[in-house]
Chains A and B, each alone.
Chain A
Amino acid sequence: MRALAAETSKLASLPAVWIATAAGVVVPGVIAAITASAALGAIDRGPAAIAAIDTGYQELAFGVVGAIILGVVAVSSEYVTESADSGGGRQITTSLTAVPSRLRFLLAKLSAIAISSAMLAITAAVTTMGVVRVVLGEHAPALGADDVPRLAGVACYWVYSALLAAGITVLTRHGVVPLAVLIANTSVVSVTYLLTKITPLANYLPDMAGVRMFIRKLADSTAEISPLTGGLVMTAWVTVLLVTAAISFTRRDA
């Protein structure tokens, strides 16, 4: 528990984590405001138009960048070299002299990432759904019992994405490449989505499978995957990656 307290304290005092938090809440909130306004315009013009089933959820699938940044910087901050002026050391040295068991250190770090990304997902979901409700008013899709497992799916997707990002960064020991690749894949060009056009197998990549937990109508879907199956597939990816990261981390020199 002490190790977890230390990791939580590290996250809370790292400015990059606050940037990640802001991105996680602002990105889906702003996109939701824009798309909801556009939807409202369409509804006003024609009575046939209704708000889509994935309103709010689509935006939360983008907002996961916040969780990804969180997962990457939580690990990469351990490996950032200090300025040569102050000796060129790295925080991992202090971390492992404070908590010498590699496995305990890694478990504490991943737990802190999971807890904070879950809290971030809940905050983002409340904000995004709130924005949708404010903008669309009576036209907003009603939130019902069906949304409980979907919102749980959002939280699960965010936590898994943060853990995947953290696991990859444990392997690279550097934040720039995982950050660039993962953010680009989520926002600019989704390589994993393009791959589904080439092979249906790409639907089982972690992000493509994971979004099925809460997205109901995936554009041009090339495979039918149930929310539960999607969740299980992503769980498998996360497990394999974290086990690989743990083996590498406990064996190599710090």
Chain B
Amino acid sequence: MTGGDASRSHVDVITIDNLVKRRGSREILSGISFRARPGRVTGFLGPNGAGKSSTLRILLGLDRATSGAALIGSVPFAKLPDPLAMVGAMLDGPGAHRARTGRAHLRWVARSAGLPRARVDEVLEVVGLTNAASKRVGAYSLGMGRRLGLATALLGDPEILVLDEPVNGLDPDGIRWIRTLLRERAASGRTVLLSGHLMGELAETVDDVVVVNEGKVVADGTLGEVTGAYRTLEDAFFALTTGAAS
């Protein structure tokens, strides 16, 4: 499905165009290109160190590409007039200071976007952290940290979600909950890009799959296309990233 009107679906496309990133003499990304489209959940998969996080960091303007471009619609993330309303992101953990309470963290993020305080309580409710909102982030479990990161990403009710390893540390209930949440967002015509290496959990969530290995895209297509002749996405993934046919 391609939900939303034509202009919106244009604005919501994530375009990664021939990204190259070098650190010293090491090439981390060697020309990564793909798109994440509205109305679909795109899984960005690869083993640790394949270049997933680097790509997402460049997309969010945190790191600079050596060459190539990463665009939200037709502009780089840093040029978005109202970034939180356009893109909600979670990279490695909630990105919250451990001495602050979960609520205080969400409050400063809300203030940066001019969002009302009531919105903080809404997202706390959505992710199920209302009762832990007054606890310091340092006392959160891995799963609670993920939920706080998701709450931060959802604050601006964004058109696009970019989530790095969102299911890491969630219990089966949490995984089921996030899967439903992401499916609902895609069904309403929004764009979801998530990275991960846990194939089992992701196969039931994603529509499109981009597989990276050693800084290169090794497969890009719908879930069916990428799984192809293999029994499962997991089999396809290992075949693609280790070069061994299963």
Contacts and interface: CB of A to CB of B under 8 A. Distances in A.
Greatest chain B CB density within 10 A among A88, A97, A254 is at A97
14 contacts: A9-B104, A13-B107, A16-B99, A77-B97, A82-B145, A85-B141, A85-B145, A86-B141, A89-B94, A93-B92, A97-B95, A100-B61, A100-B83, A253-B57
A14 B142 CA distance: 22
User: Chain A binding site: helix, strand, loop or mixed by DSSP?
Assistant: helix
Interface stretch (B111-119, B174-182, B222-230): B111-119
Interface in A72-111: 77, 80, 82-83, 85-101
Contacts of B198: none
Given A6-B109, A86-B145, A96 B61 contact: yes
Contact of B96 (A5, A7, A94, A100): A94
B101 interface: yes
A87 B93 contact: yes
A102 to B, nearest CB: 8
A51 interface: no
A2 interface: yes
Given A16-B99, A98-B84, 9 more contacts: A2-B113, A7-B108, A82-B93, A83-B138, A86-B141, A93-B95, A97-B77, A100-B83, A254-B57
A87 B142 contact: yes
Interface residues of B, number: 47
Contacts of A14: 97, 99-100
Interface of A: 2-3, 5-7, 9-10, 13-16, 77, 80, 82-83, 85-101, 253-254
B64 interface: yes
A98 B83 contact: yes
A5 B108 CA distance: 8
A72 B78 CA distance: 26
Interface string B60-86: 111110000000000001111001100
Given A82-B137, A100-B78, A91 B92 contact: no
